[in-house]
């Protein structure tokens, strides 16, 4: 255990809060809180090699309004609004009274709220071309006490989440008296592995136990701070504090393991357009998970434009996966940089906390940019390019707002591939004693400048399934061919995995996973 971790254990909650505030101030000043190595993250599962994107209900709704109807409507809105196509994929309930513990010790759905069952809701989400997110707690109970926690049931509970076809599990830290976060989350990681399903492990200890120092080998993202707001009560000042704290943890994040400064408050009541733009820009630059928290069924055109700004998302989803941070902070004017991108360009955010516009001079040499022929500047909110500029640039930053820029030696500002699919579930039925061939397709497309190479499907498929991929520009079709010869009556399931690399940086992309279900209604002959 690190020295800070050791001291932390003996601090009472008020002292921990004070520590958090002081650390936040130091981080805001560019002082690194602790430079310990977060340990090696194993990327073999190919999960979230760029920061996860999606939607969770907590910030807007809190607990009571969550039910199957709400989650389905939100999923539909994510598709219809175009959010899915620019990368938002993980959607599901937070602490939404989803399950109870039955007398046999296993979890079961609270059907009065989720009548299709948690598996049925998962299938619905997957058919929308979205990934299924769920929530639990490492302690005895979830925070409100409405649901059981996993303590003492880690292995069977992770099996239940896998049976429900969960793809992303947020594990909270309420009711954990006497527990050590590193031990508890390590055990949960082992239980997730044992479940046999690739599931993104989202640790939610609010920074307790300094997860950035030890969580990379056991998880994919970890909350670095307390909650960004109470349900329905967006708090810009707190979001700003969290951003300044979280940026200082930049050495601890990378592809597949991310610092999580909490879900977005963009689009919630009480925030101005400039505040929404500022939060989104900072989260993008910090390679933070982009988990929307607003009511996406009823958002303004301005909120939608911010959440789907592809040029900003491209910075967040950059294949190098580097977290940017504050490189200078004077008189309420901060420069957030240290974010090289896949094509050799750099992303920069300039944040003006003051009410009045402020001029700023940025010399290329300060950012470590070398140039013989000047630097082109792309404004990622006005979508305009200028330059080349020989040594630097002077800009006016509007009051309480940001400028978000990309700087490059060439005029081109390519967008990396951002992937979405029209479904993540192929489900087929066969009846009668004669062998049959069934087919089902899904289409995977990317937004981005370059088309991808062909997705490579893993060879570990069961005998009854074969998959062929064909390419048409930026879309690729996965043709699933099922042959039922010799199968006994029953249900069959396979998880298909495909891999790809980003063509410019040649970095591995997040693996693509989907489920194939087959129901065979009668025993089938060999031919």
Q: Which is nearer to ligand GLA, 293 or 324 (CB)?
A: 293
- Is residue 343 a contact residue for ligand GLA (CB under 6 A)? no
With CB under 6 A as the contact rule, the residue among 98, 110, 203, 204 that binds ligand GLA is 204
**Which one-letter DSSP state was computed for residue 398?**
P
With CB under 6 A as the contact rule, the residue among 45, 68, 85, 94 that binds ligand GLA is 94
CB of 153 to ligand GLA, least distance (A): 19
**Residues in region 221-240 near ligand GLA by CB under 6 A:** 227
Token pair listed for 463: 């005998």
Active site (annotated) includes residue 45? no
Would you call 346 helix, strand, or coil by DSSP? Answer: strand
Q: Rounded distance, CA 83 to CA 307, Å?
A: 8
Asked whether 137 and 172 are in contact (CB, 8 A), the reply is yes
CB of 137 to ligand GLA, least distance (A): 8
Asked whether 295 and 331 are in contact (CB, 8 A), the reply is no
Q: Rounded distance, CA 200 to CA 193, Å?
A: 10
Active site (annotated) includes residue 42? no
CB of 24 to ligand GLA, least distance (A): 17
Q: Which is nearer to ligand GLA, 68 or 95 (CB)?
A: 95
What angle, rounded to 10 degrees, do the helices at 68-80 and 117-127 form?
10
CB of 58 to ligand GLA, least distance (A): 4
CA atoms within 13 A on the CB side of 183: 8
With CB under 6 A as the contact rule, the residue among 4, 70, 106, 143 that binds ligand GLA is 143
Where are the alpha helices (H) located in 81-180, listed in sequence order?
Answer: 117-127, 154-163
Q: Which is nearer to ligand GLA, 45 or 172 (CB)?
A: 172
Q: Rounded distance, CA 378 to CA 410, Å?
A: 11
Matching residue, tokens 């994919």: 220
CB of 138 to ligand GLA, least distance (A): 12
Asked whether 260 and 289 are in contact (CB, 8 A), the reply is yes
Q: Which is nearer to ligand GLA, 206 or 250 (CB)?
A: 206
- First vs last C-alpha separation in the chain: 61
Q: Rounded distance, CA 119 to CA 96, Å?
A: 15
Q: How many residues does the chain have?
A: 527
- Is residue 157 a contact residue for ligand GLA (CB under 6 A)? no
Task: Compute and round to an integer the Cα radius of gyration of the chain.
Answer: 23
Q: Which is nearer to ligand GLA, 95 or 502 (CB)?
A: 95
With CB under 6 A as the contact rule, the residue among 45, 95, 157, 515 that binds ligand GLA is 95
How far is the CA of 450 from the CAs of 84, 301, 414, 483, in angstroms?
A: 19, 28, 8, 35
Q: Which is nearer to ligand GLA, 56 or 455 (CB)?
A: 56
Of the candidates 163, 227, 379, 450, the residue annotated as catalytic is: 227
Q: Rounded distance, CA 358 to CA 472, Å?
A: 48
Of the candidates 85, 137, 172, 318, the residue annotated as catalytic is: 172
Q: Which is nearer to ligand GLA, 71 or 312 (CB)?
A: 71
- E-strand stretches of 413-511: 418-421, 425-430, 437-447, 456-457, 465-472, 475-483, 490-499
CB of 296 to ligand GLA, least distance (A): 17
**Which one-letter DSSP state was computed for residue 213?**
G
- Is residue 172 a contact residue for ligand GLA (CB under 6 A)? yes
CB of 65 to ligand GLA, least distance (A): 13
- Is residue 45 a contact residue for ligand GLA (CB under 6 A)? no
Binding footprint of ligand GLA, residue count (CB under 6 A): 9
- Is residue 260 a contact residue for ligand GLA (CB under 6 A)? no
**Residues in region 46-85 near ligand GLA by CB under 6 A:** 58
**Residues in region 299-338 near ligand GLA by CB under 6 A:** none
Which sequence positions are flagged as catalytic? 172, 227
Q: Which residues bind ligand GLA (CB under 6 A)?
A: 58, 94-95, 143-144, 172, 204, 206, 227
């Amino acid at each position: 255990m690190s020295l800070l971790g050791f001291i932390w254990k003996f601090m009472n909650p008020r002292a921990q809060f004070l520590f958090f505030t002081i650390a936040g101030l130091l981080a805001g000043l560019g002082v690194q809180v602790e430079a310990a190595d977060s340990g090696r993250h194993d990327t073999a599962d190919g999960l979230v090699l760029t920061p996860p994107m999606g939607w969770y209900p907590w910030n807007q709704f809190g607990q009571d309004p969550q039910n199957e109807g709400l989650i389905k409507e939100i999923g539909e809105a994510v598709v219809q609004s175009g959010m899915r196509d620019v990368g938002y994929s993980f959607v599901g309930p937070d602490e939404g009274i989803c399950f109870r513990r039955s007398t046999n010790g296993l979890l079961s759905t609270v059907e009065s709220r989720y009548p299709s069952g948690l598996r049925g809701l998962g299938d619905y989400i997957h058919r929308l071309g979205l990934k299924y997110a769920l929530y639990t707690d490492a302690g005895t109970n979830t925070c409100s006490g409405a649901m059981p926690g996993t303590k003492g049931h880690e292995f069977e509970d992770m099996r239940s989440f896998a049976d429900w076809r969960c793809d992303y599990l947020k594990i909270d830290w309420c009711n954990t008296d006497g527990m050590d976060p590193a031990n508890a989350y390590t055990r949960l990681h082992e239980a997730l592995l044992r479940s046999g399903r690739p599931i993104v492990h989202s640790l939610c200890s609010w920074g307790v136990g300094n997860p950035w120092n030890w969580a990379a080998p056991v998880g994919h993202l970890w909350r670095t701070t307390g909650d960004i707001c109470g349900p329905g009560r967006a708090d810009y000042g707190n979001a700003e504090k969290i951003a300044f704290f979280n940026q200082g943890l930049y050495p601890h994040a990378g592809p597949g393991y991310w610092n999580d400064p909490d879900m977005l408050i963009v689009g919630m009541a009480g925030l101005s357009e400039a505040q929404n733009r500022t939060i989104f820009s900072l989260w993008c630059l910090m390679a933070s998970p982009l988990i929307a928290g607003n009511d996406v069924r009823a958002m303004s055109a301005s909120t939608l434009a911010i959440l789907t700004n592809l040029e900003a998302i491209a910075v967040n989803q950059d294949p190098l996966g580097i977290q940017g941070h504050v490189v200078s902070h004077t008189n309420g004017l901060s420069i957030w940089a240290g974010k090289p991108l896949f094509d050799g360009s750099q992303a920069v955010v300039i944040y003006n906390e003051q009410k009045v516009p402020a001029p700023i001079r940025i010399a290329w040499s300060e950012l470590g940019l070398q140039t013989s022929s000047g630097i082109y500047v792309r404004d990622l909110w006005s979508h305009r390019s200028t330059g080349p500029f020989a040594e630097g640039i002077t800009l006016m930053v509007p009051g309480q707002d940001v400028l978000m820029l990309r700087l490059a030696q060439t005029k081109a500002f390519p967008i990396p591939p951002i992937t979405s699919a029209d479904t993540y579930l192929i489900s087929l039925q066969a009846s009668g004693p004669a062998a049959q061939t069934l087919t089902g397709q899904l289409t995977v497309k990317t937004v981005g400048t370059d088309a991808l190479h062909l997705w490579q499907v893993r060879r570990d498929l069961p005998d009854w399934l074969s998959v062929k991929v064909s390419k048409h520009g930026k879309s690729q079709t996965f043709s699933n061919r099922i042959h039922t010869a010799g199968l006994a009556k029953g249900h069959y399931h396979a998880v298909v995995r495909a891999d790809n690399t980003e063509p410019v940086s040649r970095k591995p992309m997040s693996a693509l996973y989907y489920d194939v279900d087959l129901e065979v209604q009668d025993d089938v002959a060999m031919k």
